[in-house]
Amino acid sequence: MGAKACIGVGVVILILGLLFIFVGTFGVDYVLPKQKTGYLVIDSEKSPQFKDWAGGYDQKVEYDMVFYFYNLTNADEVRYVGATPNYTTVGPYIYRRYRKSINVSFPDGGDQIKFVDFREYQYNQEKSNRSQYDLITNMNPVFLSALAQAGSEQQMLGGAAGGMFPNYTTYFQGEFISLYTSFVLPENLHNAQTAQISVINATLHDSTASLEYFLDTWCNGTANTTLIGNWAGLLLSETNGGKATNISKESAAKLLDPSQALSLLNSDNITAWAWDRAAHNTSYSTLISETFNISTEQIQAIWDWRIKSFGPTFIYPNTIAKYNLSQISDLGWVQFGAGYDILGGTVDAPVSIHDLFPTEEIGYYASIEMFLVPMDPPYFLDWRNTSQIFNSVTGLGNMTVFQAFALSMGDPTVPTNFSAWGMNSDQGNQVYIVVVTAGILQVVPALQSVFGDSGGLILNQTVDDWVFNCNPYMANLLLPSPPPCSLLLNNSVFSTATIFSGKKNISAINEYIEWNGSPSVSGVWAETIPVKGCTELGQFSPDQTKDTVLQTFNDEFVRTMTLKYNSSTVIEKIKVNQFVLDYNATFGVDPLYFQTIPGFANMTSFKQAPIYYSLWDMMYVDESYRQSVIGVANATSEFDVTTSIYVEPITGNTLRGEKRLQANMFTPPNCSWCNSSASYLHNNGFPPNTFYPLVKAGEVSEITASLAADVRLKIEALKYGARYGLIVGLSVGIPLVVLAIVLILVGKRRLNREYSRIADYSYPMQR
């Protein structure tokens, strides 16, 4: 190789060697971020880690919801004599959580992820070793919430009664009319009537049903020895004191002949009877009277017989079951006045339910009538018009039922000017007497029937009910819009969230942009707060140190939670950092979150109930609160009762999470309803200024072995990728540089020799 060629090759090799050294030394600053993005960022459904992130039944992160319930062992002593609550802790009850991200999109070129979180829970009997049908007794959160909001039992009962009216009236206007007046579904009453007549006939006569035999042996009462041989007319034993109606046998035969138009057993024409009863003196009355040769009084008797004979077949069992009543008479107070308008009744001449229910079954109508009839002009309740008391003559001066109850219960916010409703003082007082009478004699017993002897203070139900639906039956009667009383929302779709994918800025990976469709939370705390922090899906920014402070936006606390480094450990052969919830930032006194008692996070404004979160076993709270109830354990280590997450520092992946909180109900120091001696619901006092523990709840999340293996590979790639590049760059670049230098030196030496020979040759010639 010539000298110049040697030098040229050396220069080229030198450039290559220096390039290898440069790339190996500085190229990692470009390559490593790309590598992290490829391993960690999800910017489309084609991203390698999208499937694991999206979740499903084959999810690679296992979530277990763990519950230890506080079981109240002296409920009667607490509610009747105000004894100190005595608890035992029962558990664990473990539910496996399956989550899936649905409706996923990638705005801003993949730098954002928009999705909805779907969650399903299944009881894990193997891990729990207990039954989800175990009964747990504790204070009733909905009942205490209603008391706290109402301020007194009387106010609560007034609100409850106001809530009960729409329920009952909706039922009477719809289902009752459909089933019992045969107006919408005439076949119901018709079929029941036909079936009962057939049963009676078959019982009395061992042969094919015979209308003639039925008339002879039952309708005319010949089974009664005193009537043998005498046609007594259509005998309606359930009405008219068992006296005969004087309806002829011929008319009775027509009434019970299915082929006869307008017959009681003709389902096509039976609605005429309902219309006759609804409007009175209509063309139907004339038609029925002329068809069957019966009087208006006899039509009335037949209708009463139908309702009283066959109505209970539908009314009593259905209504008792639907409203959790002990007896049908609990509905009596709904006869609040004589003005229930149905089926063509007018404002001036309303048709009362009293006409459809036996007075003796109602047991309250007479009292209402006594108070309301003397009014001039008369007043009544028109349930079709937002449950208002109307002046039936002018239609002016309306008062809602809720206003009436509030007035009767002494609500100072409701005006007491009777003339505003077109009443004089005597008439107004009569209405209030009715309201109070309804509240004390009817509403309270009805509520007691609904909520049991406890009056709702104590709730005894299964673990499953506590977890998924601890709202007691008819909870909407106590609160206008009762909050969902549950620890978990099963098979539920949560509101839309938008987060950063980390594509443009890896340090922002998994951070919220919007939670619940908004970048901030308003109307919950003292001020609007920003949605700040990562989701709880287990990914934080990579390259963490011991000085790193983690933040998550927690959908249980509805605010940003701060976690700080505590220690290092090893999980699945991977070194991780343990970050622990900042206790003071979460449970300290903070007016922004209405927190005034150290150790308790006040969730009342969000839960719409006096719920306060604490560490498990109320650790670090004032000892007087722990001693106000019996059975709260003495925790020995904060790390056994608080929230911790274990994060791999290079990738920012969470390998394990342990979220723990305890839910407690609070009765304030100035609790006016705690020790009421005038309690209607048998709650003769229970301790104020007390935190009643409900449940210790935890969420344990842990990656599977296969996902741990994937994390180890990522760690190796990210941890040693730069080192490998440097080693390769230097190991290749340095030898090339050395070779280049050698070649250049060799080439230079050869070139020098050539110059020397040329010089030696030219010197003699010059001489």
Residues contacting 427, CB < 8 A, separation 6+? 375, 379, 418
3-state secondary structure 221-251: CCCCHHHCCCCCCCECCCCHHHCECCCCHHH
Phi/psi for 700 (5° steps) reads -110, 120
3-state secondary structure of 35: helix
The answer on 482 and 603 residing in a single domain is yes
Q: What is the pTM of this model?
A: 0.64
* 71 and 134 together in one domain: yes
CA–CA distance, 142 with 482 (Å, rounded to integer)? 7
The stretch 116-140 carries a mean pLDDT of 90
Cis ω on the peptide bond leading into residue 312 (within 30° of 0)?
Answer: no
Q: Is 387 left (phi over 0), alpha (psi -120 to 50) or beta?
A: left
Comparing 137-141, 353-357, 419-423, 426-430, the range with the smallest average pLDDT is 353-357
- Of 308, 195, 332, which is closest to residue 241 (Cα–Cα)? 308
Does residue 459 sit within a domain?
Answer: no
- Assess if residue 461 is contained within a domain: no
Q: Do 256 and 359 lie in a common domain?
A: yes
| 720 in a structural domain | yes
Single out the residue in 678, 703, 728 at which a domain terminates: 703
Answer yes or no: do 588 and 648 share one domain: yes
Between residues 651 and 285, the one the model is more confident about: 651
What distance in Å separates the CA atoms of residue 230 and residue 335, rounded to the nearest whole number? 41
Contacting residues for 363 by C-beta, under 8 A, at least 6 apart = 329, 332
Query: Do residues 640 and 175 touch, judged by C-beta distance below 8 A?
Result: no
Do 589 and 611 share a structural domain?
yes
Lowest-confidence region among 219-233, 407-421, 520-534: 219-233
Question: Tell me, what amino acid is at 123?
Answer: Y
Residue 427 or residue 9, greater confidence? 9
User: Residue 97 sits in which domain range?
Assistant: 61-140+476-703
**Would the pLDDT of 392 be above 50?**
no
For residue 623 the two structure tokens come to 């000892």
431 and 306 share a domain?
Answer: yes
8 Å CB contact between 281 and 255: no
Tell me whether residue 44 is in a domain. Answer: no
623 three-class SS: helix
The CA–CA distances, whole Å, from 403 to 162, 193, 410, 649 equal: 9, 42, 10, 62
The DSSP output letter for 55 is B
Cβ-Cβ contacts under 8 Å for 293 (sequence gap 6 or more): 248, 250, 251
- Which H/E stretch holds residue 585? helix 583-587
DSSP 712: H
Q: Torsion-angle region of residue 354: left (phi > 0), alpha (psi -120 to 50) or beta?
A: alpha
Most confident of 233-247, 381-395, 646-660, 728-742: 646-660
Number of H helices, E strands in the chain: 24, 21
Question: Do residue 229 and residue 304 come from a single domain?
Answer: yes
| Of 451 and 304, the one with more pLDDT | 304
Q: What is the 8-class DSSP label of residue 293? A: T
Angle between helices 296-322 and 186-204 (to 10 degrees): 100
- Rounded to whole angstroms, the Cα distance separating 478 from 472 reads 10
- CA-to-CA distance for 388 and 399, rounded, in angstroms? 5
Task: Please tell me whether residue 559 adopts helix, strand or coil conformation.
Answer: strand
Tokens representing 25 are 């030394």
Please report whether residue 466 resides in a domain.
no
Is pLDDT larger for residue 577 or for residue 30? Answer: 577
pLDDT digits (tens, 9 = 90+) for 167-211: 555 554 455 444 444 333 344 555 655 665 565 555 544 444 566
Q: What percent of the chain has pLDDT over 90?
A: 18
Name the average pLDDT for the chain. Answer: 70
- Token digits of residue 528: 């609007």
Q: Residue 391: inside a domain, yes or no? A: yes
Same-domain status, 528 and 572: yes
User: How many angstroms separate the Cα of 59 from the Cα of each of 50, 118, 494, 705?
Assistant: 11, 13, 18, 12
Q: Give the residue-averaged pLDDT of 535-549.
A: 87
Burial class (CB in 10 A: 0-12, 13-18, 19+), 34: exposed
Domain boundary among 703, 735, 752: 703
Q: 412 and 519: one domain?
A: no
Judged on CB neighbours under 10 Å (0-12, 13-18, 19+), 348 is: exposed
DSSP letters along 121-178, please?
Answer: EEE-HHHH-S-TT-EEEEE-HHHHHHHHHHSSHHHHHHHHHHHHHHHHHHHIIIIIHH
Alpha helices in 485-569 (DSSP H): none
- For residues 486 and 95, the answer to whether their CB atoms sit within 8 Å is no
Residue 321 lies in a domain: yes
Query: CA 659 to CA 657: how far, in whole Å?
Result: 6
Q: Which of 462-476, 614-628, 724-738 bottoms out in mean pLDDT, i.e. has the lowest?
A: 724-738
> Average pLDDT of 394-398?
43
Structure tokens at 661: 């909180």
d(CA 148, CA 505): 48
> Do 209 and 88 reside in the same domain of the chain?
no
Reported confidence tier of residue 214, pLDDT bands at 50, 70, 90: low
Between 207 and 687, the higher pLDDT residue: 687
What tokens appear for 266 in the block? 């003709």
Same domain, 243 and 389: yes
Same-domain status, 222 and 83: no
- Number of domain units in the chain: 3
Percent of the chain with pLDDT over 70: 50
148 belongs to a structural domain? no
Q: Which of 20-34, 63-77, 447-461, 527-541 shows the lowest mean pLDDT across its residues? A: 20-34
Q: What is the pLDDT of residue 367?
A: 32
The token pair at 590 is 């903070």
* Model confidence at 423: pLDDT above 90: no
Long-range contacts of 76-81 (CB under 8 A, 24+ apart): 78/457, 78/458, 78/686, 79/454, 79/455, 79/457, 79/458, 79/682, 79/683, 79/684, 79/686, 80/682, 80/684, 81/684, 81/685
First to last CA, the chain: 34
Question: Length of the chain in residues, anyone?
Answer: 767
